[in-house]
Amino acid sequence: MPRLIDRARREDELAEAVWRVIRRDGASGVSVRTVAAEAGLSTGSLRHSFPTRIELVAHATALVGRRVAARTARRRTEPDARRRTVAVLAERLPLDDERRAEAEVTAALHADAASHPRLREVRRAAHAAARETCLTQLAQLRAAGLLRPDADPEDEADHLQALVAGLALQLLVHEPDPARHARALRVLERHVDALVARPRVERPSAGVQP
């Protein structure tokens, strides 16, 4: 078991080396040679774990998904369904350096996926995971009695996913800025609030004093 753990850690360290190359040189700068140099390894040693550039890139992209999933799982301890929904979705926004690195890597590698079936498969899996997160949060809002009765989960999941992706892209095209981060969170919070059912207010009948 320790050997398997060491191997997994080593592979994740190589994925992080891919991230650093991408953030510095873009996706086109990723090769077995450049990543080996970044990780301080020989190309032969790196090829033992990842024989091709595509396998390296696929693993680096998959690592983003695993780390987002791990943070999301920790957020699910929040007892308030509305706050939990905002917190879980915000894990996909580049609000700190860790999440910004993930968003930059994902954007670069998703663009690189157009010509590689293996990367398209990874991209589809990432998209499906993001949508499943949205569906899960909507189901939890409904279970808590908070989701508007007229809200269609499939439509709202698409809307939520598009909103989060759009906010992430907006944040990426600008330098990190706390005020911009706060505004993105407000937009997300307002959208979640719009999904929440409002208590019905009984209006007095005509001629009846309130």
Confidence of residue 143 (pLDDT cuts 50, 70, 90): very high
List Cβ neighbours of 116 (8 Å cut-off, separation of 6 or more): 54, 57
- Closest-CA residue to 152 (of 138, 165, 140): 138
Q: What percent of the chain has pLDDT over 90?
A: 64
Confidence of residue 197 (pLDDT cuts 50, 70, 90): confident
Tell me, what's the pLDDT at 2? 55
Please give the domain boundaries of the chain with CATH numbers for all domains: 60-195 (1.10.357.10)
Asked if pLDDT for residue 99 goes beyond 80, the answer is yes
What's the rounded mean pLDDT across residues 7-21?
Answer: 89
Low-confidence winner among 39-53, 125-139, 164-178 (lowest mean pLDDT): 39-53
Tell me, what's the pLDDT at 28? 85
Tell me, what's the pLDDT at 110? 77
The average confidence (pLDDT) of the chain is: 88
Q: Rounded CA gap, 185 and 171, in Å?
A: 11
* pTM for the predicted model, two decimal places: 0.85
Tell me, what's the pLDDT at 4? 52
Asked if pLDDT for residue 114 goes beyond 90, the answer is no
CB neighbour class for 67 (10 Å; exposed up to 12, middle 13-18, buried from 19)? middle
Question: What are the DSSP calls for the chain, one per residue?
Answer: -HHHHHHHHHHHHHHHHHHHHHHHH-GGG--HHHHHHHHT--HHHHHHH-SSHHHHHHHHHHHHHHHHHHHHHHHTT-S-HHHHHHHHHHTTS--SHHHHHHHHHHHHHHHHGGG-HHHHHHHHHHHHHHHHHHHHHHHHHHHTT-B-TT--HHHHHHHHHHHHHHHHHHHHTS---HHHHHHHHHHHHHHHHHHBPPPPPPPPPTT---
Residue range 59-96, pLDDT digits in tens: 898 899 999 999 999 998 899 999 999 999 999 999 99
Tell me, what's the pLDDT at 202? 41
Confidence of residue 206 (pLDDT cuts 50, 70, 90): very low
Asked if pLDDT for residue 209 goes beyond 50, the answer is no
Asked if pLDDT for residue 199 goes beyond 80, the answer is no
Tell me, what's the pLDDT at 88? 96
Tokens of 40: 């301080």
